[in-house]
């Protein structure tokens, strides 16, 4: 039975807006934001939530996201992209709004 992984990266573009419990980082720092071992339904739902902006904040936003399927077989694991990689960025530098600026095909 295949499992699905949502692979994403967060861009921290305004670290000064993060809470005091977060480690200090330089503006523009990227951080992985991965969810592994999901069902197809859960992975696609998370992918769509991310694309809709559910994980975007004034201090950081999801820069890119895609979904892969992992299938075990006799020689190991096989991976296949099931939702294309979407690249996102701030509409206006310093603004809060994020939009898709590119995508990579399957």
pLDDT by residue (tens digit) across 20-33? Answer: 999 999 999 999 99
Residue whose pair of structure tokens reads 């934001």 in the numeric block: 33
Q: Within 13 Å of residue 52, how many CA atoms lie on the same side as its CB? A: 7
Structure tokens at 40: 């197809």
Domain housing 89: 3-104
Q: What pLDDT, on the 0 to 100 scale, is given for residue 54?
A: 94
Residue 106, classified by CB atoms within 10 Å of its CB into exposed (0-12), middle (13-18) or buried (19+), is exposed
Q: What pLDDT, on the 0 to 100 scale, is given for residue 94?
A: 62
Mean pLDDT of the chain: 89
Structure tokens at 56: 């975007």
What band does 92 get if pLDDT is binned at 50, 70 and 90? low
Number of domains composing the chain: 1
Q: What is the pTM of this model?
A: 0.85
- Contact yes or no for 50/8 (Cβ under 8 A): yes
Q: Which residues of 41-61 are buried (b: 16+ CB within 10 A; e: fewer)?
A: eebbebbeebbeeebbeebbb
What band does 95 get if pLDDT is binned at 50, 70 and 90? low
Question: Is the pLDDT reported for residue 75 higher than 80?
Answer: no
Radius of gyration of the chain (CA): 15
Question: Is the pLDDT reported for residue 49 higher than 90?
Answer: yes
């Amino acid at each position: 039975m295949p499992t699905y992984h949502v692979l994403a990266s967060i861009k921290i573009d305004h670290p000064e807006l993060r809470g005091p419990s977060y480690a200090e980082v330089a503006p523009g720092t990227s951080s992985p934001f991965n969810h592994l071992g999901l069902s197809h339904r859960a992975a696609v739902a998370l992918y769509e939530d991310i694309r809709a902006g559910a994980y975007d904040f004034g201090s950081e936003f999801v820069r890119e996201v895609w979904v892969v399927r992992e299938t075990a077989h006799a020689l190991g694991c096989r991976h296949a992209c099931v939702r294309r990689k979407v690249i996102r960025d701030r509409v206006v530098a310093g603004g809060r709004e994020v939009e898709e600026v590119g995508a990579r095909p399957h």
